[in-house]
Amino acid sequence: AMEVDGLGGSDACSSGLSVVVAAGPYTLADDLAYEPLHELLQDLKNSPPNMLVLLGPFVDVEQPLVAGGLIDVSFQQLFQTQVCQRWTASQAHYTHGCLQEVVIGNSRN
């Protein structure tokens, strides 16, 4: 058995390691509502993995609204309100205590 950051030690996690990997961008071309991220987090509520790896870009510099300078907040504020707050809110649904998350940025962040 392989143990990753303590995942193998808990009875709740002894049934095997499940990993979900998702890659951004997490927005659509015509808005910054982060609907794809929202849908991913909603889907994970039904079957939470032991590990979630989120790959950027999170605030994509090539997204048309961002690239066109049509946002009135900083990249950091957009990341905080659209990504971090959604993630924090969704964590309450992962009650088995085994979820580990890895967030990896991208050169387009």
Per-residue pLDDT of 42-72, as tens digits, reads: 998 888 888 999 999 999 999 999 999 999 9
Flag the least confident range among 2-6, 58-62, 75-79, 91-95: 2-6
pLDDT at 4 over 60: no
Q: What is the pLDDT of residue 79?
A: 94
Beta strands 51-55; 100-104: pairing state: parallel
DSSP assignments along 42-87, one per residue: HHHHHS--SEEEEES-SS-TTSHHHHTT--SS-HHHHIIIIIIHHH
pLDDT at 3 over 80: no
Mean of the pLDDT values across residues 28-54? 92
Q: In which band, very low, low, confident or very high, does the pLDDT at 102 lie, cut at 50, 70 and 90?
A: confident
C-beta neighbour count of 55 within 10 angstroms: 14
Alpha carbon distance 51, 59 (integer Å): 22
Beta bridge partners of 31: 28
Residue 57 and residue 109 in contact, taking contact as beta carbons nearer than 8 Å = yes
Single pTM value for the model: 0.78
Alpha carbon distance 11, 58 (integer Å): 34
Alpha carbon distance 94, 12 (integer Å): 12
